[in-house]
Amino acid sequence: MLAKIEKGIQWTVIAAGVFLLSGLIGQVFLTLPPNSFTFLTGREGGAYFLDSQHYKKIAEEKGFIANIVPTAGSVTALQMLEEGKGDVAFVQGGVAAQGNPEIVSSLATVAFEPVWIFYRLGLSPETPLDTLPQLKGMRIGIGEAGSGTNQLARQLLRDAGIDDNNTTFLELPASEAHDALRDATMDVAFLVTDTESPALRDILVDKDIELVDLRHADAIARRHRFLTVLTLPEATLNLVNVSPPTDIKLLATEANLVVRNDLHQDLLRLLTVA
């Protein structure tokens, strides 16, 4: 009888050990980082897409696979992130604040992005365009639907009394803005991007396109706290041709790295270091 009891105890101990070991193994697997993650960016060739290549390179060096998925822009990327269709995204300032804090968080601010407003030379021959209300009634490129540029441009123009009822809004990607200005199918174009953007570089060297020196930039930035004011010093873009010919005031917003709250800690550290 005693032998049976001892044997039963042995089997109980073994079973408990197996159960405990299984639990520990399961816990280890649960805490292991995934070997890949999805990075949501703007359109292919845009600033966010190009910046994501840096993170992709760092991730691959550490043994992770970064799947880069282009989107229409910040608004679409944030929506996809909240829906679980991505793990990380570049999201423009102002848009990032609209994220659900129970699902996503801003990990870091990675850059400041100027708000560039261009117009065709000769559009306002007597007075240079330097305020937003002057744009009323024109054909304005506000960026692709779903982009942060589109949302920000609409917001700024709405403050100036400009909307779809009194002005033509053209929802074109940044890559098409230069041609539209050159072809005179667009009068004004909003771009929100850093100076490395190919779309921006093409416009900046075009002598028939002028950059708006926004006179009320400080007042606008006080109204929208996610905006700041930058000064583009004289001759910054071209020392030989002295472009711009004078200091120019620009609005700027932040580019944020936004992640899902359930992203593994190892991936969070990787993104922070990168």
pLDDT tens digits for 43-74? 998 999 999 999 999 999 999 999 999 999 99
Contact criterion met (CB below 8 Å) for 263 and 87: yes
Share of the chain above pLDDT 70, in %: 88
CA distances from 39 to 52, 108, 151 (A): 7, 15, 21
Q: Is the pLDDT of residue 127 over 80?
A: no
Whole-number Å distance between alpha carbons of 92 and 82: 15
What is the pLDDT, as a whole number, of residue 2? 38
What is the pLDDT, as a whole number, of residue 126? 66
What is the pLDDT, as a whole number, of residue 15? 42
Confidence of residue 197 (pLDDT cuts 50, 70, 90): confident
Q: What is the mean pLDDT of the chain?
A: 88
What is the pLDDT, as a whole number, of residue 8? 44
3-state per-residue secondary structure call for the chain: CHHHHHHHHHHHHHHHHHHHHHHHHHHHHHHCCCCEEEEEECCCCCHHHHHHHHHHHHHHHCCCEEEEEECCCHHHHHHHHHCCCCCEEEEECCCHHHCCCCCEEEEEEEEEEEEEEEEECCCCCCCCCCCHHHHCCCEEECCCCCCHHHHHHHHHHHHCCCCCCCCEEECCCHHHHHHHHHCCCCCEEEEECCCCCHHHHHHHCCCCEEECCCCCHHHHHHHCCCCEEEEECCCCCECCCCECCCCEEEEEEEEEEEEECCCCHHHHHHHHHC
Which of 18-27, 152-161, 176-185, 229-238 comes out lowest in average pLDDT? 18-27
Confidence of residue 6 (pLDDT cuts 50, 70, 90): very low
* Residue 77 φ/ψ region, left for φ over 0, alpha for ψ in the -120 to 50 degree band, beta for the rest: alpha
Nearest to 152 by CA among 223, 70, 95: 95
Whole-number Å distance between alpha carbons of 212 and 207: 14
What is the pLDDT, as a whole number, of residue 128? 85
> pTM value?
0.85
What is the pLDDT, as a whole number, of residue 21? 43
Confidence of residue 256 (pLDDT cuts 50, 70, 90): very high
Over residues 112-126, the pLDDT tens digits come to 999 999 999 888 766
Domains of the chain: 36-111+256-273 (3.40.190.10), 113-252 (3.40.190.10)
